Structure 1
């Protein structure tokens, strides 16, 4: 898969936007953003999209990573109530469908993104995005409280929380808009597509943890590699090997679920209007784009060995 020919011409376009929104205020923040290579993620996720849609996707990714840095790298939430005060204006933006006039800088950015993303989308899509984003904020607050209180989760609870803090599910909703994905409705298929999204979030979160293990530990943050080492009583190298196997097993489950969705709903759709197949294509492409991006950036450090090409 090649980067989208319509992707923004390098990170410079993204950087100008981030400066205008106040997300980049000094040389350190600029270098951090440059290291993220988010134009690579957006371009790979939308290989056939126009430049405006790729740019909007990249800008959402910048905002997501900026917020993640504030929580994980700048100690936001080290005092009780601090993170909740930071997230409350973000929740208000979605509660008011972007029609309010926030003063908190982070809420102004979210409102501006929302006003460019939500028009033309259904009430169901808006509700689904708001639910996914609020759940991410809930999970982030829970994670920070656990860290503040020195609570270390067992593996089963850690992976459930990590699925919610990785922000992949809100980004899937963004891609539904920017990738012009067909809206697939119906309780049965929606539940199966949510399962596919959950598998993507797990793979992305676990691969992210594998890439950022050293940085996370240095920042005093728990990490899947550390959790596995602690639970299994093994070395970091052994834990990394097990996490790699977990990722490959989850990817295999993702492939199986995607193939079953295509098979089951292609029969019902016949030779036309294969909305489910198109949606699965979008999620598979996002999976491949995310793994490529993690390999290219090394999660903002040194590049990692690439993941195998198959999704």
Structure 2
């Protein structure tokens, strides 16, 4: 696998700004231990080092920053921790395509819309997904379960489609194709659905299924996903990964990595501004939605939650060691993931899943 050229030494992520002030859920640090216990109980860590790196990445704090107002933070934090581990497994170069496809099928089988359907999981990650679904789905409507499963399916499907690009086996996509795929591959849509789990309330389907509301979420999705692309750039380049916005922009428009990153940062700013405009567009159409005042109040609250999500995700990316070694916020340095280090230590060793 060829590695892509690295950005110049001392390169920094351009300044980015969220739409609202960052907030942290007061229970975020307490949820950290329960997340580690839950993942350990389901056998999701290969060894103590992977567990320590998972803990050090601060995924419970990620949930605390992106869901600062929900009541059920623990549940959404467990979902996020699980999804990070699935994402890492699908990105692992030791995971061949057949293994990845088997895991995806096993995971999807654990999220039936009809809760009478049961499928025995074959993989620890699938067993953990089944546990999460048992904790989440019974309290939710069939419409919500269908929506969440569809978003989860699309995330997994595009994760498979992205593997050749993420593993340096294929050149960058065009900018329009990348943007379309990234909205699905980001997993942001299913994580936005978890806001309803966290609040134990559901959006009216007339709003959730409307184009106006979907455009709000697409803009938030873009801002969040492209921010992740900027902060993960050094790790992506070291792995030969072309499936990130900066590489796509550089391929399309030329110039240096600094030029491409500045263009990508402008796109993040534009997506954030478009999110705010889309929120105003939706609010202006309130009279056309046949919902009660109480239902609309929750819709309006959901827009604030999405704004907090954008700002919280940015803040977490600025401080997590997952993508960099430098303690100086914003400066690039290579951070090896669990799988990167295990590749060095366990050359020739098979992956955890069969």
TM-score computed with the length of structure 2 as normaliser: 0.78
- Choose which of 89, 93, 101 in structure 2 pairs with 1:75: 93
8 Å contact from structure 2 (residues 172, 247) kept in 1: no
After superposition, the Cα gap between the structure-2 partners of 1:298 and 1:232, relative to the gap in structure 1 and judged at 3 Å, is: farther
Q: Alpha carbon RMSD of aligned pairs, Å?
A: 2.5
Indicate the residue corresponding to 1:160 in structure 2.
Answer: 180
**Per-residue deviation, residues 228-247 of structure 1 (Å, max 9, x unmatched):** 11221110011111111010
- TM-superposed deviation, 1:297: 1.2
Indicate the residue corresponding to 2:123 in structure 1.
Answer: 104
- TM-superposed deviation, 1:37: 1.1
After superposition, the Cα gap between the structure-2 partners of 1:305 and 1:260, relative to the gap in structure 1 and judged at 3 Å, is: farther
Q: What is the rounded CA distance, in whole Å, between the counterparts of 2:55 and 2:34 in structure 1?
A: 11
Q: What is the rounded CA distance, in whole Å, between the counterparts of 1:295 and 1:218 in structure 2?
A: 20
- Choose which of 20, 26, 36 in structure 1 pairs with 2:57: 36
Tell me, yes or no, if structure 1 residue 17 matches structure 2 residue 38: yes
SS at match of 2:214: helix
After superposition, the Cα gap between the structure-2 partners of 1:221 and 1:265, relative to the gap in structure 1 and judged at 3 Å, is: same
SS at match of 2:111: helix
- Choose which of 232, 235, 238 in structure 2 pairs with 1:212: 232
8 Å contact from structure 2 (residues 110, 119) kept in 1: yes
Indicate the residue corresponding to 2:9 in structure 1.
Answer: none
After superposition, the Cα gap between the structure-2 partners of 1:202 and 1:48, relative to the gap in structure 1 and judged at 3 Å, is: closer
SS at match of 1:81: helix
Q: Which runs of 5+ in 2 are unaligned?
A: 1-21, 332-354
After superposition, the Cα gap between the structure-2 partners of 1:125 and 1:267, relative to the gap in structure 1 and judged at 3 Å, is: closer
Q: What is the rounded CA distance, in whole Å, between the counterparts of 2:40 and 2:208 in structure 1?
A: 43
Tell me, yes or no, if structure 1 residue 59 matches structure 2 residue 78: yes
Indicate the residue corresponding to 2:312 in structure 1.
Answer: 289
**Aligned pair count?**
302
**Per-residue deviation, residues 39-64 of structure 1 (Å, max 9, x unmatched):** 222222333333xx111111111111
Map 1:139-154 → 2, pairs under 5 A = 139-146=158-165, 149-154=169-174
Q: What is the rounded CA distance, in whole Å, between the counterparts of 2:284 and 2:321 in structure 1?
A: 35
Q: What is the rounded CA distance, in whole Å, between the counterparts of 1:272 and 1:39 in structure 2?
A: 31
Indicate the residue corresponding to 1:226 in structure 2.
Answer: 247
More helix as a share of residues: 1
Q: What is the rounded CA distance, in whole Å, between the counterparts of 1:10 and 1:131 in structure 2?
A: 28
8 Å contact from structure 2 (residues 23, 68) kept in 1: yes
**Per-residue deviation, residues 181-234 of structure 1 (Å, max 9, x unmatched):** 442222686322222222222111111110010101111211211221122111
**Per-residue deviation, residues 112-163 of structure 1 (Å, max 9, x unmatched):** 0111111111000000011001011111111114556524311211121111
Q: What is the rounded CA distance, in whole Å, between the counterparts of 2:67 and 2:265 in structure 1?
A: 27
Tell me, yes or no, if structure 1 residue 277 matches structure 2 residue 300: yes
Indicate the residue corresponding to 2:25 in structure 1.
Answer: 4
- TM-superposed deviation, 1:271: 6.3
- Choose which of 251, 255, 280 in structure 1 pairs with 2:276: 255
SS at match of 1:119: helix
TM-score computed with the length of structure 1 as normaliser: 0.88
